[in-house]
Copies of this chain bind each other. A is one copy, B any other.
Amino acid sequence: MENMNLNKHISGQFNAELDDIRNRVLTMGGLVERQLEQSLDALAALDSELAQKVIEGDHKVNGMEVAIDEECTRIIAKRQPAASDLRLVLAISKTITDLERIGDACVKIAKAAMDKRSKNQQPLLVSIENMGRHATRTLHSTLDALARMDADVALELHKEDIKLDQEYEGIIRQLMTYMMADPRSIPEVLDVLWAARAVERVGDRCQNICEYIIYYVKGKDVRHISYEEMEKDLNF
């Protein structure tokens, strides 16, 4: 009897620990979302003070990655989770890497916002801001799907990344015409190009997180698998 209570107590603690890392990854996601919004605000207004704030805030994102990963390792070593508990810990450990990289993308966008040369490229910056708002919505929905561990939403979001890719292709074309029309603008247009690239990568990172959600819920690694296979094999 005593033993049963002890087991219950231990499993209660364990569940609390799992809840804790779930909450912490969502807090980290919220911070990254704010970094992305602010980096885009800074780019739209060429606000170098706000941009500087984003750049300085990145160390918090980095710190959360290291702290959560350490906690994941501690839980594996101490609690020896199996089945879906283990999948949860591993999915979180991978998710934080992608969130940290989205944080790096925000720094790149903020750097473009700080670049004095960018101010000659206002029409291009508007295109990137639109694309960036699209990426922000994708990140927000991805974090929602993560909070609810909703594999169906994750699959839909994964499929929708193609729209962001198409938007990016359009911007690259637009950039080329600008450069060809005014070759002296090439260095400053390239700065804008790196920002566009960073935004496009946010979408790819969200796709990765969606794959981890599906892995947790369905118990299958879906990286490098076609949508047809996913839908056929996983009862979506």
Contact = CB atoms under 8 A, between A and B. Distances in A.
Interface of A: 59, 62-63, 65-66, 69-70, 73, 76-77, 80, 82-83, 86-87, 90, 93-94, 97, 172, 176, 179-180, 183-184, 186-187, 190, 221, 223-224
A176 to B, nearest CB: 6
Contacts of A66: 221, 223-224
A227 to B, nearest CB: 16
Given A76-B86, A77-B86, A186 B190 contact: no
A179 B187 CA distance: 10
A65 B186 contact: no
Give the 8 A-B CB pairs with smallest separation, nearest first: A62-B224, A80-B80, A180-B183, A183-B183, A77-B82, A179-B186, A66-B221, A180-B186
A90 B71 CA distance: 13
A94 B76 CA distance: 16
Q: How many copies does the complex hold?
A: 2
A184 to B, nearest CB: 7
Nearest to A177: B186
A116 B211 CA distance: 35
Contacts of A63: 224
A186 B66 CA distance: 41
A90 B77 contact: no
Given A77-B86, A179-B179, A62 B223 contact: yes
13 contacts: A66-B223, A69-B221, A70-B221, A73-B90, A76-B76, A76-B90, A80-B80, A90-B93, A172-B190, A176-B190, A180-B183, A180-B184, A186-B186
Contact of A86 (B73, B90, B180, B187): B73
A189 to B, nearest CB: 10
A219 to B, nearest CB: 10
